[in-house]
């Protein structure tokens, strides 16, 4: 799926478009800046709530300038490496690029809310099922739909298309198939190239690219194929269902995509339907999802 766009098309789709930060986070970070001793944990927590700011921070810390041997995918570690002054200066410089209409900001609230919910649920699920890298599961949850604001800025009717895509999902039809048919691109492939531009680790970029291709991946006869990818996607698809992305983003009463992949995903992680329902209730009780 990541080869769907030519280099020229990639440039056309992504040129001059960035995921906008949430205004309230800018205010909160400004307040933290004026504290006598800015708290790095508080700063990291604030930044972690926002895909745009998190992406910009990771892009900087993973740039050749720092020369790190391994890519950083943890917001807390990135803040620790950069220090509070550099982080806050970087975010102040970013601000909100370009003017957004009130209507667009309201529409994007659906994206902001579900991104944070899915990220927290991914983190909780990763810890519950013994995932070796819960921070990466959180990062995937936060960024997996980072292509949505980019698509909305380019296609004003995008949320209507997305609702149709969620309605048509299932029966071996992917959500991205509807986007491809109507818009000649989709939020997963745009998110992939955006994540690459943020210097996220390649396996996270690939998970973003394939997050609506789970049925094919989990139906593969090769049980050893892409274990890291399957682990991340299993957590993400469970989290999306628990957080009702089909309702928040797709405006649907039924999760058609989950209906088509729940069997292979639950088999892969070794959970029965009953186990998953109990886990879902526990996560809701914790306030995640």
CATH of the domain at 164: 1.10.3210.10
Q: Are residues 127 and 261 in the same domain?
A: yes
Q: Return phi, psi of residue 173, to 5°.
A: -100, 125
Range of the domain at 189: 102-286
pTM comes to 0.76
Q: Is residue 65 part of a domain?
A: yes
Q: Are residues 133 and 180 in the same domain?
A: yes
Q: Total structural domains in the chain? A: 2
Each residue's pLDDT expressed in tens, for the chain with a length of 289 residues: 444 456 666 665 555 555 555 557 766 776 777 678 888 899 999 888 888 788 888 888 887 767 788 889 999 999 998 888 778 767 655 543 444 556 666 667 777 778 888 988 998 899 888 888 888 898 899 889 988 888 888 888 999 999 999 999 976 689 999 999 999 889 998 888 888 877 788 999 999 999 999 999 998 766 556 888 999 999 999 999 999 999 999 999 999 999 999 999 999 999 999 999 999 998 888 765 5
């Amino acid at each position: 799926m990541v080869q769907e766009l030519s280099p020229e098309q990639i440039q056309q789709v992504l040129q001059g478009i960035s995921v906008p930060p949430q205004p309230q986070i800018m205010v909160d970070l400004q307040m933290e800046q004026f504290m006598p001793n800015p708290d790095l944990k508080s700063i990291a927590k604030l930044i972690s709530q926002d895909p745009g700011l998190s992406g910009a921070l990771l892009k900087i810390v993973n740039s050749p300038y720092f020369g790190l041997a391994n890519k950083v995918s943890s917001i807390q570690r990135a803040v620790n490496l950069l220090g509070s002054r550099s982080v806050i200066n970087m975010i102040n410089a970013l601000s909100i690029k370009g003017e957004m209409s009130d209507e667009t900001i309201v529409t994007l609230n659906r994206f902001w809310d579900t991104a944070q919910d899915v990220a927290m649920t991914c983190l909780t699920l990763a810890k519950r099922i013994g995932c070796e890298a819960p921070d990466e599961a959180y990062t995937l949850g936060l960024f997996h739909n980072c292509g949505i604001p980019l698509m909305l800025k380019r296609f004003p009717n995008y949320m209507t298309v997305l609702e149709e895509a969620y309605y048509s999902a299932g029966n071996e039809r992917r959500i991205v198939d509807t986007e491809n048919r109507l818009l000649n691109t989709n939020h997963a492939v745009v998110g992939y190239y955006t994540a690459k531009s943020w210097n996220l680790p390649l396996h996270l970029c690939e998970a973003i690219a394939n997050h609506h291709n789970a049925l094919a991946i989990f139906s593969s006869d090769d049980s050893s194929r892409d274990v890291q990818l399957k682990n991340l996607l299993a957590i993400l698809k469970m989290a999306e269902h628990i957080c009702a992305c089909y309702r928040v983003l797709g405006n649907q009463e039924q999760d058609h995509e989950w209906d088509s992949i729940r069997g292979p995903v639950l088999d892969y992680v070794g959970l029965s339907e009953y186990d998953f329902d109990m886990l879902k209730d526990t996560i809701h009780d914790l306030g995640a999802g």
